[in-house]
């Protein structure tokens, strides 16, 4: 699932493949960009901002994309077969003489002036993997609404950018608190921010996300995706339930023995 570490890795791959060379092919397959052509322009850099990707090109333009749940960018060599999905799912193709970057199932793809990037990312809080990381500002934003459930506050990218549903559940488990606990009641909330930074930093260069220090595939995460299975710490069955306002619910996983505080709905 694309979260801050996944987006950071994607940006690195795209930057290495495209930056410093002019584009020999530009194919943006969304209606509003049907006439846009970046061919001949040099890619200057590809940078992540939370869960957003900013591909900056010559002429003061930025191609903004967001992966959300199912999107991906794949990089291929000149003669390599594209394997990211059926062709009707391709939303963007950017190529130079050495590499081709193909964007599959991208729910957000837009071209804007680089000077206008704040229009799409200016609302974001400090980026856990970015040069703007500011733990004090992230903590201030998290605590601005002390009654808000912890899980919902962590997923709000306006507070701190880069945490998704996996890290939300894993982070709360590591801190032994419920995702339904009001953020203002979290003991030593500065530990929450520090642990979030530590988790994403530890995983930004890994191919497989790990929060447990275990190498086995079925033991890499403490609770996420493990409903009904024994907690890796105490053996109690892990529970799962939806959390969030209507229409924005996200699955939450937790151990009812290890994590103190309010409980969610019954087990799924």
For the chain, strand residue ranges (E) read: 25-28, 43-49, 52-57, 61-66, 72-76, 90-95, 100-104, 108-113, 239-243, 250-254
Residue among 3, 189, 197, 220 flagged as catalytic: 3
* 214 to 1, 6, 69, 100, 167: CA distances (angstroms): 19, 19, 25, 35, 16
49, 51, 56, 239: which one is catalytic? 51
**Which of 141, 250, 256, 262 is the catalytic position?**
250
Q: Strand pairing of 250-254 and 239-243? A: antiparallel
- Out of 2, 48, 126, 189, the active site residue is 2
Dihedral angle over CA of 240, 167, 182, 228, nearest 10: 20
Distance CA 10, CA 51 (A): 10
Instruction: Show the tokens assigned to 149.
Output: 């459930």
Q: Is 250 a catalytic residue?
A: yes
**35-65 burial string, b = 16+ CB within 10 Å, else e?**
eeebeeebbbebbbbbbbbbbbbeeebbbbb
Distance of CA 137 to the CA centre of its chain: 20
3 part of the active site:
yes
Active-site residues, by number, are 2-3, 51, 250
């Amino acid at each position: 699932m694309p979260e801050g570490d996944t987006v950071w890795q994607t940006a690195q791959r795209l930057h290495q493949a495209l930056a410093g060379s002019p584009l020999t092919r530009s194919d943006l397959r969304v209606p509003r960009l049907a006439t846009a052509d970046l061919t001949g322009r040099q890619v200057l850099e590809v940078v992540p901002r939370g869960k957003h990707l900013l591909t900056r090109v010559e002429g003061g333009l930025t191609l903004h994309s967001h992966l959300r749940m199912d999107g991906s960018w794949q990089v291929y060599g000149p003669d390599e077969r594209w394997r990211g999905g059926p062709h009707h799912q391709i939303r963007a193709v950017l190529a130079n003489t050495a590499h081709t970057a193909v964007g599959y199932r991208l729910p957000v793809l837009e071209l804007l002036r680089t000077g206008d990037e704040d229009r799409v990312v200016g609302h974001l809080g400090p980026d856990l993997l970015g040069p703007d990381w500011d733990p004090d500002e992230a903590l201030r934003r998290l605590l601005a609404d002390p009654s808000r459930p912890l899980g919902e506050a962590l997923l709000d990218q306006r507070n701190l950018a880069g945490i998704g549903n996996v890290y939300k559940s894993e982070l709360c488990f590591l801190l032994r608190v419920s995702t339904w606990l009001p953020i203002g009641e979290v003991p030593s909330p500065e530990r929450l921010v520090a642990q979030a930074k530590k988790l994403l930093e530890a995983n930004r260069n890994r191919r497989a996300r790990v929060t447990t220090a275990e190498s086995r595939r079925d033991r890499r995460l403490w609770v996420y995706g493990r409903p009904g299975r024994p907690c890796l710490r105490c053996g109690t069955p892990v529970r799962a339930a939806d959390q969030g306002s209507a229409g924005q619910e996200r699955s939450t996983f937790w151990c009812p023995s290890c994590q103190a505080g309010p409980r969610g709905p019954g087990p799924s």
